[in-house]
């Protein structure tokens, strides 16, 4: 069975347990339908977190092996923007990225398409320490200092959220930070940061002393009705390897359902993939439970299966970014996604 092995890169304060790089070595799996074994490299958008568990589950439980696929590497990234550029240029076969950021990248000439959606709605929010400032409405962001990473998905979200609610960026003090930028909030260097409810929020809450110590302003509650994280590949890879992509997603969907049904077990599989992740079972379980409650399923997935993406969801995402000035040259829905593979995978 193909087992993913992770090697440590380093650690940084709050996210120390999450900072790592991936490298997978595989035993020979069963042959695919074509009689060949296909090798795939997965490029993550960041360090392993709960919603990445499906790749590890599919590998550990033999779902990729059943489809004649070997996962050669699972590589960490620094941001969605970087991952989109890497996969778009051929460094990595299948990638993970924030889908609104993919639409932006496509409008800038990066030739990639989404092939499945992990998050049916974006889990992005603005977070503060409640004892510093409590966010009751979006207007409470005015006058705050905010930590931003200009190349990341969080900045796309932050810009759109402000524009949607008539707040000029000049009304906040922007400070450029580097991941893990949650540290800047915890150490009171900034008043607020964009955060993923299914990733950074559990860490923030843990280090701040509990969920009730962090104030959360959900983007979806203030007009940011966009897709969240998804899976993508370059146009060239999709054209050259359609059968591999379909088989990859068939294994992924099977692992996706297993993860929804068994979040604690999926979290343990992810944590067991590396000694550096061994203590993160509870964190990954919390992250997955958040997604199961909020983002993994929708009317679209009920009708079309896990990972599905509707035309309406994509058009809403593109229109939101265009209307708020995040995208100036709008791509079409067909430019940014190819739903044929996930449809075939769902059967």
Give residue 35's pLDDT band: very low, low, confident or very high (50, 70, 90).
low
Long-range contacts, stretch 261-268, CB < 8 angstroms, 24+ apart: 263/288, 263/289, 263/292, 266/53, 266/54, 266/56, 266/57, 267/50, 267/53
Token readout for 230 is: 């998804």
Of all residues in the chain, the percent with pLDDT exceeding 90 is 80
- Three-state DSSP class for 80? helix
Confidence tier at 18 by pLDDT (50, 70, 90):
very low
How far does the chain reach from its first CA to its final CA, in angstroms? Answer: 25
For residue 6, pLDDT beyond 50:
no
- CB-based contacts of 102: which residues, under 8 Å, 6+ apart? 80, 84, 112, 114, 230, 232, 336
Q: For the segment 189-198, what is each residue's pLDDT rounded down to a tens digit?
A: 999 999 999 9
Give the model confidence (pLDDT) of 275-299 as tens digits.
999 999 999 999 999 999 999 999 9
Q: Domain 124-222 sits in which CATH superfamily? A: Periplasmic binding protein-like II (3.40.190.10)
Helix (H, G, I), strand (E, B) or coil at 39: strand
Q: State how far the Cα of 185 lies from the Cα of 223, in Å rounded to an integer.
A: 24
Stretch 6-20: mean pLDDT, rounded? Answer: 34
Q: Which of 217, 214, 213 is nearest to 136 (CA)?
A: 217
Cα dist. 234→88, 188, 271 in Å?
A: 5, 40, 29
Is 124-222 in the same CATH topology as 3-121+227-346?
A: yes
Say what the pLDDT of residue 22 is: 38
Top pLDDT among 138 and 79 is at 138
Question: pLDDT at position 10, please?
Answer: 32
Residue that the structure tokens 């070997």 belong to: 70
- Percentage of residues in the chain with pLDDT exceeding 70? 90
| pLDDT tens digits for range 214-269 | 999 999 999 999 999 999 999 999 999 999 999 999 999 999 999 999 999 999 99
ω before 180 within 30° of 0 (cis)?
Answer: yes
Domain boundaries, the chain: 3-121+227-346, 124-222
Q: Does domain 3-121+227-346 have CATH number 3.40.190.10?
A: yes
Place 78 in a pLDDT band, splitting at 50, 70 and 90.
Answer: confident
Sequence-separated (6 or more) residues with CB below 8 Å from residue 314: 114, 227, 333, 336, 337
3-state secondary structure of 247: helix
Taking residues 56-83, report their average pLDDT.
Answer: 95
Return mean pLDDT, the chain. Answer: 89
pLDDT digits (tens, 9 = 90+) for 294-332: 999 999 999 999 999 999 999 999 999 999 899 999 999
Question: What pTM value is reported for the model?
Answer: 0.87
**Looking up tokens 């990954």, which residue turns up?**
284
């Amino acid at each position: 069975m193909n087992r993913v092995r992770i090697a440590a890169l380093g650690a940084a304060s709050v996210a120390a347990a999450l900072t790592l790089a991936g490298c997978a070595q595989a035993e020979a799996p069963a042959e695919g339908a074509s009689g060949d074994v296909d090798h795939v490299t997965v490029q993550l958008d960041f360090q392993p977190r709960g919603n990445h568990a499906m790749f590890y589950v599919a590998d550990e439980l033999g779902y990729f092996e059943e489809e004649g696929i070997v996962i050669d590497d699972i590589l960490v990234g620094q941001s969605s923007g970087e991952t989109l550029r890497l996969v778009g240029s051929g460094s990595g076969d299948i990638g993970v990225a924030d889908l609104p950021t993919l639409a932006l990248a496509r409008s800038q000439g990066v030739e990639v398409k989404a092939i499945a959606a992990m998050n049916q709605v974006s889990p992005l929010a603005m977070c503060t320490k409640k004892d510093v400032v409590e966010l009751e409405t979006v207007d409470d962001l005015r006058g705050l200092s905010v930590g931003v990473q200009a190349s990341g998905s969080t900045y796309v979200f932050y810009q759109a959220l402000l524009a949607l609610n008539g707040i000029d960026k000049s009304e906040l003090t922007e400070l450029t930070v580097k991941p893990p930028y949650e540290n800047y909030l915890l150490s009171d260097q900034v008043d607020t940061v964009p955060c993923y409810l299914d990733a950074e929020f559990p860490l923030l809450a843990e280090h701040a002393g509990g969920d009730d110590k962090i104030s959360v302003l959900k983007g979806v509650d203030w007009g940011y009705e966009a897709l969240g994280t998804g899976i993508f590949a370059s146009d060239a890879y999709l054209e050259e390897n359609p059968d591999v992509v379909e088989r990859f997603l068939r294994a992924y969907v099977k692992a996706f359902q297993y993860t929804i049904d068994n979040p604690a077990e999926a979290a343990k599989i992810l944590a067991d993939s590396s000694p550096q992740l061994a203590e993160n079972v509870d964190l990954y379980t919390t992250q997955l439970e958040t997604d199961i409650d909020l983002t993994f399923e929708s009317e679209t997935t009920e009708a079309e299966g896990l990972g599905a993406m509707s035309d309406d969801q994509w058009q809403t995402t593109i229109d939101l970014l265009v209307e708020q000035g995040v995208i100036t040259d709008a791509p079409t829905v067909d430019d940014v996604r190819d739903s044929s593979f996930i449809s075939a995978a769902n059967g």
